[in-house]
Amino acid sequence: MVGGGGMGGGLLENANPLIYERSGERPVTAGEEDEQVPDSIDAREIFDLIRCINDPEHPLTLEELNVVEQVRVQVSDPESTVAVAFTPTIPHCSMATLIGLSIKVKLLRSLPQRFKMDVHITPGTHASEHAVNKQLADKERVAAALENTHLLEVVNQCLSARS
Amino acid sequence: MPSKCLEMDTSVGFGVTYATDDTRSSLENPEPRTRARGIQLLSQVLLQCHSLLLEKEVVHLILFYENRLKDHHLVIPSVLQGLRALSLCVALPPGLAVSVLKAIFQEVHVQSLPQVDRHTVYSIITNFMRTREEELKGLGADFTFGFIQVMDGEKDPRNLLVAFRIVHDLISRDYSLGPFVEELFEVTSCYFPIDFTPPPNDPHGIQREDLILSLRAVLASTPRFAEFLLPLLIEKVDSEILSAKLDSLQTLNACCAVYGQKELKDFLPSLWASIRREVFQTASERVEAEGLAALNSLTACLSRSVLRADAEDLLDSFLSNILQDCRHHLCEPDMKLVWPSAKLLQAAAGASARACDHITSNVLPLLLEQFHKHTQSNQRRTILEMILGFLKLQQKWSYEDRDERPLSGFKDQLCSLVFMALTNPSTQLQLVGIRTLTVLGAQPDLLSPGDLELAVGHLYRLSFLEEDSLSCRVAALEASGILATLYPVAFSSHLVPKLAEELCIEESDLARGDGPTKCSRHLRCLQALSAISTHPSIVKETLPLLLQHLCHMNKGNTVAGTSEVIAVCQSLQQVAEKCQRDPESCWYFHQTAIPCLLALAVQASMPEKEHSVLKKVLLEDEVLAAMVSVIGTATTHLSPDLAAQSVAHIVPLFLDGNISFLPENSFPGRFQPFQDGSSGQRRLVALLMAFVCSLPRTVEIPQLNQLMRELLELSCCHSCPFSSTAAAKCFAGLLNKHPAGQQLDEFLQLAVDKVEAGLSSGPCRSQAFTLLLWVTKALVLRYHPLSSCLTDRLMGLLSDPELGPAAADGFSLLMSDCTDVLTRAGHAEVRIMFRQRFFTDNVPALVRGFHAAPQDVKPNYLKGLSHVLNKLPKPVLLPELPTLLSLLLEALSCPDSVVQLSTLSCLQPLLLEAPQVMSLHIDTLVTKFLNLSSSPSMAVRIAALQCMHALTRLPTPVLLPYKPQVIRALARPLDDKKRLVRKEAVSARGEWFLLGSPGS
């Protein structure tokens, strides 16, 4: 069946997930091609950053698993804030922290420093929602997690372009 | 001594007896090694001269060699060599082949010989099978049995390839297998599935695939193997090894070509069970694909077999099995195994018309019912997609072969379902609905006029009225185009009138407030008109509508915008493109549209006190360019004799003001674009250019000499750059097609004189330069000898203070493809390698020029060079890299953004393809790219960031020292004001983060 995505063998928690369609490339508008017009950072742009992140255990993207959706991205360019809510495929998903961490790292690497970012679980979709949210909000814990070679390896795999 | 003997024998033609005599002493020697050497010598002689042997000598030698087979084992290899030579003899008398083979079968234990000698035995057999087929067949099954013993236990891949070939010939040439069918199967099938990995540096070049294919040819060559092979295949499909599964399914597929019902009968249930399991539990897409292919062949085989009167038709029961196992999956609410089931059913249905009917008539009612049961639009989409799959299969079988039409019973249900999908708010469902409608429409005589009217109504709504979805609109337009070719009447009676009405609506008639504006409604209308112009009879209605609309815009008192006129021209151009396929429509379009366009343009160019607004609009650069493309498209596909008719009207119009062929020709003044006509009239030379430069080369142009002179004159006239450029292009276009000879040389001389006179001084320098550029291009494309001379002249202008920058940009024009003149589609002479040739001929001079030039004009050389490099196919460029790299790196510091951009786009592929060479310059590259990533030009920023991304392909150890610096620097473009720049910055920075980090 579906091969493991880096978590080493073993049974998958959700072996047969529903697969959602990928949205296409964002069409380029005339305004975007105009040198003079500034394009503000919007929800779609943030969504494009995170939709291609690979799931840690399926050879699928977070978008295909409906873990991230554009409607769950809130962004304000002038106030420099981003909030992303993600929905684990099952309420007991043990990958939730890892998925959140991948999203967080992707945003850290891709957004200007001025942004304050908040990554959390869609309310009511996970058993240990608060614990996970707390970990993701804690800067020091995120930094410490990235010092861990094994965790960093998995996160990097999630962020690598799909071959 | 042996070599001397050989030489004598072959060159002088001494008798073999001589050689035998000479070696007699060694042949009788008691020491086996010496005897072996003697025989080896004799065998080598025979290999050289077997064609010269007489029958008597052959008999003698064969007896000798057969006898030697009984000798010491050391001697045998040489004996076999000799027999191989003799097996090639033409003079071999009947009966001896059999006798040699019998002797080998009897005396030699082949599998204990070394590989080379086993190969010799196979060669002897192959040679005899080629030339003595009848004699060998006389041996009956003994021959087969003998061979089985010879190859039993063979291990070498080189020998196996030959042995498999022999077995294949045994079977296909109908040698008697007697009671040895199973033995023959065993001795070959023991290699299945092939498991062979060629050793590294294998000089023999035998691939696993070669062995697989030649063994498959043997196994699948006869139905007589079926009872042994099918159980083996089933066993291997059921195994865990991926390659074994694939090979088995492919072999089964091959077998179906020769098997019939009789062979398959007992194994069908197991075969189906195995295939079903593989497809349901797809471990790999390849296995799934092979499983489906095998099912398709199995079904085809069952459909094809001729039945005896008393036999039961296995096809029906087989299909019933498949249906029984798959249909309940189609009905399960969670839809988990829906796709695998549908794929299986479609694979079987794709095998034959009968299978298709059987399955479709069972599955369609089920799917129709399911569609109504499910309410979510994505589930409905899945079901409709399956239905679409089954409908598409119907197209594989033509109706003549069939008694009934399985779809006719479901027609009404299918139509209502499709229309339901088309009215659903989900775009995805609409899209599938549109595709299904196209497929239904392609079924001959299925849709009734009523259905078609409804369908056209839906397509009209989707392509015209719906607001949001662009993809749906495009799909609906495309579907309209396809269906219009099949049902022109439905479209001309139900859609064209609606669109015609729509075109007449003025802004004032539209309700204020919501709804699309007049402009966008007209635009959609024009798109729809051109989309459905796929049938000649429809073109006869749409073309007049479009032209009428254009005239109407001219007469109306509303303000016709440039963009609206251009939109009409674009529609006309699309119609012209669709007409190109059909010579009659092509001529109709040409004859109707071109006089009308010319008349409008001539009218607009008349000196008049009060121009209507459109008249001015028609003379604008962009509008004329749009008309140029209509005229070009309508001309390129004309047949030469029709084109000649047209040219006889149009050239006199421009040269003599002969307006008689224009539809409305009462103009207030004369039309004299080349004489002292107004500047408006001169602009219309662009339309003349569009026409004459698109004609087939064989069409003779009347008054050519005069035309060329007039064009040349106009090209250096300084009052209006648009018309002088058009004249220069037209001149160049004609020059390119003109056959070599005295007249061409005259034209060229005139042009060169004109250019030199203009360039020397005065107000026309820039016009003369444009003329030079276009003439050079015309000649470069056709490899004319004068082209190098003109190119040098152009290169000289790079250091001209006034024309230098223009000359640099000129190189871009020389290297790129034009759209209006000098195109392949317009029958210009364009040699395929002209860019490479231009590169080799001129780049060294450009580089020299760069080094020699004074500082202030150096950028011109860089820019010219960048253009040449940029347009060159990258594979041609790569080998030149070492010589040019230093120049390119220098070009990165050039302040000109065109040079920067083109240099970056040169370097980017080089980073990907030649990372080793580029590694040497890492320091320069990082610094320059980062600098350019804050350039004021967005395109340069994007290209620089793409290069930063491409840099990550260099070896990681080279990059790591730069990683912290680069990651810091790339934080800035993350906040660029342009989204497209940010996108590149994100991907570049992301890759740099991964460098040398675990998990990347």
From the list B978, B989, B994, which residue is nearest A156 (CB)?
A: B994
Chain A residues in contact with B283 by the CB 8 A cut-off are: 1
pLDDT of the residue at B556: 58
* pLDDT mean over B263-291: 88
Q: Given a cut of 70, is residue B224 above it in pLDDT? A: yes
pLDDT of the residue at B614: 56
pLDDT of the residue at A16: 57
Q: Given a cut of 70, is residue A106 above it in pLDDT? A: yes
pLDDT of the residue at B511: 45
Q: Do B993 and A6 touch (CB under 8 A)?
A: no
Q: Given a cut of 80, is residue B580 above it in pLDDT? A: yes
Contacting B residues, span 264-293, partner chain A, CB-CB under 8 Å: 281, 283
Q: How confident is the model over B611-643, as pLDDT tens digits?
A: 555 567 888 889 999 999 999 999 999 999 999
Would you call B975 an interface residue with chain A, using a CB distance cutoff of 8 Å? yes
Q: Which residue of A has its CA nearest to B999?
A: A153
- State the Cα–Cα distance between residues B319 and B338, nearest whole angstrom: 18
Q: Do A156 and B982 touch (CB under 8 A)?
A: no
* pLDDT mean over B864-874: 84
ipTM: 0.90
Give the 3-state DSSP-derived string for B928-946, with helices as H, strands as E and coil as C: HHHHHCCCCCHHHHHHHHH
Q: For the sheet with A73-76, list strands across it.
A: A73-76, A81-86, A116-121
- State the Cα–Cα distance between residues B407 and B710, nearest whole angstrom: 66
- A54, A101, A109: best mutation site toward chain B, by most B Cβ within 10 Å? A109
Q: Do B997 and A28 touch (CB under 8 A)?
A: no
Torsion B342-B343-B345-B346 (CA) sign: positive
From the list A39, A109, A153, which residue is nearest B998 (CB)?
A: A153
Q: How confident is the model over B334-384, as pLDDT tens digits?
A: 666 788 899 999 999 999 888 988 999 899 999 999 888 888 887 888 889
- A20, A21, A39: best mutation site toward chain B, by most B Cβ within 10 Å? A39
Q: Do B989 and A45 touch (CB under 8 A)?
A: no
H/E element holding B138? helix B133-138
Chain A residues in contact with B998 by the CB 8 A cut-off are: 149-150, 152-153, 156
- A80, A108, A159: best mutation site toward chain B, by most B Cβ within 10 Å? A159
* pLDDT mean over A37-56: 91
From the list A28, A109, A114, which residue is nearest B989 (CB)?
A: A109
Q: Which tokens is B290 given? A: 């092979």
Torsion B126-B130-B135-B136 (CA) sign: positive
Determine contact, residues A58/A17, Cβ cutoff 8 Å: yes
Q: Do B998 and A39 touch (CB under 8 A)?
A: no
- State the Cα–Cα distance between residues B3 and B16, nearest whole angstrom: 15
Determine contact, residues B248/B271, Cβ cutoff 8 Å: no
pLDDT of the residue at A13: 58
Q: How confident is the model over B7-60, as pLDDT tens digits?
A: 434 433 444 444 555 566 677 777 888 888 888 988 998 988 888 888 888 998
- State the Cα–Cα distance between residues B317 and B397, nearest whole angstrom: 22
From the list B428, B978, B990, which residue is nearest A39 (CB)?
A: B978
- State the Cα–Cα distance between residues B995 and B987, nearest whole angstrom: 13
Confidence of residue B948 (pLDDT cuts 50, 70, 90): very high
In chain B, what percentage of residues exceed pLDDT 90? 50
H/E element holding B144? helix B141-151
Determine contact, residues B462/B430, Cβ cutoff 8 Å: yes
Q: For residue A107, how many C-alpha atoms fall within 13 Å in the half-sphere facing its CB? A: 29
- State the Cα–Cα distance between residues B284 and B786, nearest whole angstrom: 61
Q: How confident is the model over B668-711, as pLDDT tens digits?
A: 788 888 886 678 888 999 999 999 999 999 999 999 999 999 99
From the list B283, B937, B975, which residue is nearest A112 (CB)?
A: B975
Q: How confident is the model over B585-617, as pLDDT tens digits?
A: 999 999 999 999 999 888 888 876 555 555 678
Q: Calculate the alpha carbon distances from B989 to A50, B74, B130, B836 in Å.
A: 15, 72, 68, 36
Q: Which residue of B has its CA nearest to A158?
A: B999
Q: Given a cut of 90, is residue B659 above it in pLDDT? A: no
In chain B, what percentage of residues exceed pLDDT 70? 92
Confidence of residue B71 (pLDDT cuts 50, 70, 90): confident
- State the Cα–Cα distance between residues B526 and B521, nearest whole angstrom: 9
Q: How confident is the model over B430-468, as pLDDT tens digits?
A: 999 999 999 999 888 888 889 999 999 999 888 877 666
Q: How confident is the model over B504-526, as pLDDT tens digits?
A: 776 555 444 444 566 777 888 89
Q: Which residue of B has its CA nearest to A46?
A: B983
Q: Given a cut of 80, is residue B547 above it in pLDDT? A: yes
Q: Do B971 and A111 touch (CB under 8 A)?
A: no
Kindly report the number of other CB atoms within 10 A of residue B628's CB atom.
Answer: 25
Q: Do A112 and B978 touch (CB under 8 A)?
A: no
Q: Do A156 and B997 touch (CB under 8 A)?
A: yes
Q: Calculate the alpha carbon distances from B228 to B70, B219, B262, B269 in Å.
A: 38, 10, 14, 16
pLDDT of the residue at B118: 95
Determine contact, residues B153/B111, Cβ cutoff 8 Å: yes
Q: Which amino acid is it at A47?
A: F
Q: How far is B985 from chain A (nearest CA, A)?
A: 8
Using alpha carbons, select from B245, B170, B157 the residue that is nearest to residue B203.
Answer: B157
Mean pLDDT for chain B overall: 87
Determine contact, residues B809/B863, Cβ cutoff 8 Å: yes
Q: Given a cut of 80, is residue B404 above it in pLDDT? A: no
pLDDT of the residue at B20: 54
Q: How confident is the model over B292-335, as pLDDT tens digits?
A: 999 999 999 998 876 666 667 788 899 999 999 988 888 876 66
Q: Which amino acid is it at B14?
A: F
Q: Which tokens is B895 given? A: 């302040």
Would you call B242 an interface residue with chain A, using a CB distance cutoff of 8 Å? no
| pTM for this model (two decimals) | 0.73
Using alpha carbons, select from B635, B637, B663, B657 the residue that is nearest to residue B647.
Answer: B635
Q: How confident is the model over A3-21, as pLDDT tens digits?
A: 333 333 344 556 556 666 6
Distance of CA B44 to the CA centre of its chain: 52
Chain A residues in contact with B997 by the CB 8 A cut-off are: 152, 156
In chain A, what percentage of residues exceed pLDDT 90? 40
Q: Given a cut of 70, is residue A160 above it in pLDDT? A: yes
Cis peptide leading into residue B94 (ω within 30°): no
Q: How far apart are the first and last CA of chain B?
A: 68
Kindly report the CA angle at B631 between B626 and B634, in degrees rounded to 5? 125
Would you call B33 an interface residue with chain A, using a CB distance cutoff of 8 Å? no
Q: Calculate the alpha carbon distances from B285 to A110, B278, B292, B739 in Å.
A: 35, 10, 11, 57
Determine contact, residues B170/B133, Cβ cutoff 8 Å: no
Residues 6+ apart with CB under 8 A from B856: none
pLDDT of the residue at B1: 38
Q: How large is the angle between the packed helices B881-891 and B922-932, nearest 10 degrees?
A: 40
Q: Do B980 and A6 touch (CB under 8 A)?
A: no
- B277, B377, B952, B979: best mutation site toward chain A, by most A Cβ within 10 Å? B979
pLDDT of the residue at B778: 95
- B431, B474, B978: best mutation site toward chain A, by most A Cβ within 10 Å? B978
Q: Do B283 and A160 touch (CB under 8 A)?
A: no
Q: Do A160 and B978 touch (CB under 8 A)?
A: no
Q: Do B999 and A114 touch (CB under 8 A)?
A: no
Q: Calculate the alpha carbon distances from B700 to B123, B367, B645, B648, B652 in Å.
A: 66, 63, 10, 10, 14
Q: Calculate the alpha carbon distances from B717 to B692, B728, B762, B765, B774 in Å.
A: 21, 11, 12, 10, 16
- State the Cα–Cα distance between residues B414 and B372, nearest whole angstrom: 12
Q: Do B990 and A149 touch (CB under 8 A)?
A: no
- State the Cα–Cα distance between residues B409 and B207, nearest whole angstrom: 53
From the list A6, A109, A153, which residue is nearest B990 (CB)?
A: A109
Distance of CA B778 to the CA centre of its chain: 29
Would you call B937 an interface residue with chain A, using a CB distance cutoff of 8 Å? yes
Chain B residues in contact with A7 by the CB 8 A cut-off are: none
pLDDT of the residue at B512: 45
Would you call B994 an interface residue with chain A, using a CB distance cutoff of 8 Å? yes
Kindly report the number of other CB atoms within 10 A of residue B406's CB atom.
Answer: 18
